[in-house]
Amino acid sequence: MESAYYDLKAPMRALVLKENMNFALIFPQDVRKRMTFELYFFRVARVAPLERVYLLPEIPPGELRDFNYLGEAGLGSGDDIFKMSEERPFRILHFGIGVWPKNLKVWRQQPTGFTMTAWSRVVPTKAGDPVDYFDGHLSPFEEPTKASESVMWLKGSLYLAFRNDEPISVTPRLRFLGAGYDCWLITDKAIADKMIKGVIPCRFVSVGGLYEGQFTVPDEWKGKGFVYDLSTVQNLVRGG
């Protein structure tokens, strides 16, 4: 699985975790020069397939639909389809987003207000930028890929923006494919450290791209994440 993990076109169905696997969500704390991150470690207790096809309103050629939530009643209307139950603070969704048609570009914000990026730009990326999108070539409707890999948790948020680069009006379709997990939150620092060192296998997931912003987690997680900076990691790898 590890080699596939680095393939942007790896099918999402091959990347979902199974019971008793570990993973960590990586949130930024300081990404300017200190490079400090807060990690929450989980062990997957239960897994169930996740799938949903979401229809967008018709978009004329060349037109942009700015960031908005995916509502049950349409784009930006009704309940957010990713709204999660307060009673399920340890439920995590892990999915890819398949795109139809091929030339529909999709930009993501996670959390809302922070555009997912890997580029280093002085001006924050926005919908319609020539960078930081994925489309139906990279993550096809039939086979969502790692390029669109996303996670969602209670109090997480995900906004999407779209541009139709087909020559005709289209009614785009998105396919969310992956799995939902019931998880145990790992609160033992010694175990977390072993995952950082690589002694215990763990899948690490950078949440929301390389933005620098705020994030919100469930109350049940608070105070149970672990903060790592370079010196801590060096010390651990050294055997500390």
Partner 1 sequence: MEFNIIATVGTTEAELRPYPGGTTAVVPTDKVRKVYSMILTNTAASANTLTVRIYKGDSIEASFDVIVPATSTMTVVSEVPLLIVPGGRALKAIASAANVLLVMTCRDE
Interaction site with partner 1 (CB under 8 A):
58, 60-62, 101-103, 165-170
Q: What is d(CA 132, CA 157) in angstroms, rounded to the nearest whole number?
A: 18
Q: Which is nearer to partner 1, 169 or 231 (CB)?
A: 169
Tell how strand 150-153 and strand 22-30 pair up. unpaired
Give least dist CB 138 to partner 1, A: 15
Instruction: Give, to the nearest 10 degrees, the angle between helix 230-238 and helix 189-197.
Output: 80
Q: Which residues contact 211 (CB under 8 A, 6 or more apart)?
A: 28, 114, 115, 116, 117
Q: Which is nearer to partner 1, 101 or 128 (CB)?
A: 101
Q: Which is nearer to partner 1, 103 or 206 (CB)?
A: 103
Q: How long, in residues, is the chain?
A: 240
Q: Which is nearer to partner 1, 165 or 182 (CB)?
A: 165
Give least dist CB 145 to partner 1, A: 19
Paired with 203 in beta bridges are 23
Q: Which is nearer to partner 1, 92 or 170 (CB)?
A: 170
- 111 upstream amide cis, omega within 30 of 0: yes
Give least dist CB 235 to partner 1, A: 49
Give least dist CB 146 to partner 1, A: 23
Paired with 179 in beta bridges are 49, 94
The encoded tokens of residue 225 equal: 């994440």
Q: What is d(CA 5, CA 117) in angstroms, rounded to the nearest whole number?
A: 19
Give least dist CB 164 to partner 1, A: 9
